[in-house]
Amino acid sequence: MYKHGAFAEIMATKDFIPPKDAGTLPVYFGTLPAHQKLNYEELVNKPILINSFKEAQEKVGYSEHWEDFTLCEAIYAHFKNNIKPIGPIILINVLDPKIHLLKARTATLKRETVSITNKVGFISTYKGILKTISINEKVMGEDYKAEYTPDGGRIRITDLKGTLGSSVEVTFNEVDLSNVTKTEIIGGTSSEGHKTGIDVLDLVYQNHNMIPTLLCAPKWSKIPEVDTALKAASQKINGHWYAFVNSDIESSTSNTIDKAKAAKTEAGFTSSYEAPCWPMAKNGEGKLFHLSTLATVTMQWVDYENGNVPHETPSNKPIDIIGLVLEDGTTIEYDQIQANELNSKGIRTATYWGGRWVLWGGHTGEYEYGKDMDKRNIFDCSVRMIQYIANSFQSRYGIFVDKPMNRAKVDTILNDMQEWLDALMAQGKILHGLVGFEETSNSTSDMIEGDFTFDIETTTTPPGKSLTAKICYTSKGLNVLFGGDQ
């Protein structure tokens, strides 16, 4: 087309691609709409790396029915929020369409007559297993194509040869979400070494060469047994790595602040390496989010903005919501004073502050105001910084394992580690950091066995949880009324 002038064309929205150097890696456990894919076997109990919303749709599927497909909440929260989209994330799905299917319970297939217009028709189901779709005497991929719509709400049937007519009967099976329980989420390792559920966490590092640092299971972590399994899995992953758990306190029966405070203790959400959250939240589109998911998203982008160092709490950081709700969607309202009641019990919540909704509360689950406890466990950022230093030491110096440990090698590790700690101090990310190689920690028998120990001490930088100005009145200012030097 001939053109003469200045022109502009509005193009389709570009899908968010997360920064390549994001260091904090969240791992989510739950259910994906794996039934939307023909290759669903590859999506069950595997650590799946997702970098964008589009990649999620193409690789693992997507559905707006988050109550059924809980990992879609994490996908949306990370890549579709209006604050700061961030990734990558790892998804571990336990929904297996081969096992968790309706026919296993009813022994009958679904049947639906589909109207075909302009060679296209739709099956009104969001649970239909794509691989089970069948049209009598027709071959999928040759005579017709079956695929889910982008929102995961319907299945589109496309007539490839024009032989389906104006309507056609389609049979299919559906997934049965009632068959997925806490048992599948917790999982385990079989005698043959096959890992399922939370145990799949052990495969993240070897499959993706990435260290998992945050664990979250929206909808499921409110179950005490699942929360316990997450906390157990978070320590010494692969015998090395440490991760922090964001969990939820259920808000169906615990529908008041007092009930939430009681439930936190009764259900055992009291670990120093977890942050229990309550209640849930709602965004402008009416979507309901678990605060554990929003906390995980916020931790990742705050860490990224701080050079991937987790020295800053996600508390008082903006989140993409318009209010707080209970599990059934009922609005619950309270101010910052009441939010602080939850914080004093070691519960993270959200509040409206500074013209925006923010996460509120930087304590760990172990914290209770006035409780005698290890001071390092008061704040989430303190625990995560110590985990960060532990993970960093192992990943930095693992290359020296099984090499001759002479004095020069000891000095190399000491000098390099101290330089790294000094940099963190200079940036204000820790207040103190010192590494040493002490004789008291390295007995002759240990060194003969090839076991060497480096002692590291650190003071993490505490957050300014409260800032108080003491203001008093004085009559001194009245002197200016008299002028001169009086």
Estimate the crossing angle of helix 71-79 against helix 291-305, to 10 degrees: 40
Q: Both 312 and 341 in a single domain?
A: yes
Q: Both 211 and 300 in a single domain?
A: yes
Q: Both 256 and 295 in a single domain?
A: yes
| Residue 83, pLDDT score | 94
274 in any annotated domain = yes
Phi-psi label, residue 219: left if phi above 0, alpha if psi -120 to 50, beta otherwise = left
Structure tokens at 127: 């649970």
87-96 mean pLDDT: 98
Q: Both 261 and 407 in a single domain?
A: no
Preceding amide of 279 cis, omega within 30: yes
State whether the Cα torsion 23-70-152-33 is positive or negative. positive
Estimate the crossing angle of helix 407-426 against helix 380-397, to 10 degrees: 150
Rounded to the nearest 10 degrees, how much is the dihedral formed by the CA atoms of 324, 326, 330, 335? -40
| Residue 173, pLDDT score | 95
pLDDT tens column, 159-217: 999 999 999 999 999 999 999 999 999 999 999 999 999 999 999 999 999 999 999 99
Domain boundary among 360, 392, 420: 360
Q: How many domains does the chain have?
A: 3
Residues 78/22, Cβ–Cβ less than 8 Å: no
* pLDDT exceeds 70 at position 21: no
Estimate the crossing angle of helix 336-343 against helix 257-266, to 10 degrees: 10
| Residue 434, pLDDT score | 98
Cα distance between residue 175 and residue 185, in whole Å: 17
Residues 146/155, Cβ–Cβ less than 8 Å: yes
DSSP-assigned beta bridge partners for residue 127: none
- SS3 for 310? coil
Return the H-helix or E-strand segment holding 385: helix 380-397
473 in any annotated domain = yes
Domain boundary among 360, 388, 410: 360
Q: How confident is the model at residue 314 (pLDDT cuts 50, 70, 90)?
A: very high
pLDDT tens column, 130-168: 999 999 999 999 999 999 999 999 999 999 999 999 999
- SS3 for 470? coil
Average pLDDT score, the chain: 95
Which residues are within 8 A (CB) of 336 and not within 5 positions of it... i.e. 6 or more apart?
351, 352, 353, 360
Q: Both 253 and 351 in a single domain?
A: yes
Domain boundary among 330, 360, 390: 360
88 in any annotated domain = yes
275 in any annotated domain = yes
Q: Which residue, 200, 279, 207, is CA-closest to 28?
A: 200
pTM of the model: 0.94
Preceding amide of 97 cis, omega within 30: no
Residues 116/146, Cβ–Cβ less than 8 Å: no
Higher pLDDT, 43 or 485: 43
384 in any annotated domain = no
Q: How confident is the model at residue 108 (pLDDT cuts 50, 70, 90)?
A: confident
Domain limits at 125?
103-174
Q: How confident is the model at residue 22 (pLDDT cuts 50, 70, 90)?
A: low
Q: Which residue, 322, 325, 298, is CA-closest to 312?
A: 298
pLDDT tens column, 222-234: 999 999 999 999 9
205 in any annotated domain = yes
Amino acid at 187: G
Q: Both 91 and 112 in a single domain?
A: no
Q: Both 192 and 279 in a single domain?
A: yes
| Residue 56, pLDDT score | 97
Q: Both 72 and 205 in a single domain?
A: yes
Structure tokens at 413: 């590790």
231 in any annotated domain = yes
pLDDT tens column, 253-311: 999 999 999 999 999 999 999 999 999 999 999 999 999 999 999 999 999 999 999 99
Q: Both 313 and 210 in a single domain?
A: yes
**Quick one: 203 exposed, middle or buried, by C-beta within 10 A (0-12, 13-18, 19+)?**
middle
Q: Both 70 and 109 in a single domain?
A: no
| Residue 16, pLDDT score | 56
| Residue 8, pLDDT score | 72
Neighbours of 132 (CB within 10 A): 19
469 in any annotated domain = yes
Q: Both 170 and 194 in a single domain?
A: no
Which residue in this structure is represented by tokens 């179950």?
A: 223
Phi-psi label, residue 164: left if phi above 0, alpha if psi -120 to 50, beta otherwise = alpha
Cα distance between residue 91 and residue 55, in whole Å: 12
Q: How confident is the model at residue 375 (pLDDT cuts 50, 70, 90)?
A: very high
Q: Both 199 and 138 in a single domain?
A: no
Amino acid at 64: E
